[in-house]
Amino acid sequence: DIQLTQSPSFLSASVGDRVTITCRASQDISHYLAWYQQKPGRAPKLLIYSASTLQSGVPSRFSGSGSGTAFILTIGALQPEDFATYYCQHLDSYPYTFGQGTKLEIK
| Residues forming the site for another protein (CB under 8 A) | 1, 32, 34, 36, 38, 43-46, 49-50, 55, 87, 89, 91, 94-101
Q: What is the torsional sign of CA 74, 77, 78, 80? A: negative
**Closest approach of Cβ 57 to another protein, in Å?**
11
Contact 106, 10 (CB under 8 A): no
**Closest approach of Cβ 28 to another protein, in Å?**
17
Contact 43, 37 (CB under 8 A): no
Backbone angles phi, psi at 88, to 5 degrees: -100, 155
The helix (run of H) or strand (run of E) holding residue 106 is strand 102-106
Nearer to another protein, 17 or 85 (CB): 85
**Closest approach of Cβ 1 to another protein, in Å?**
7
Nearer to another protein, 48 or 75 (CB): 48
Nearer to another protein, 19 or 88 (CB): 88
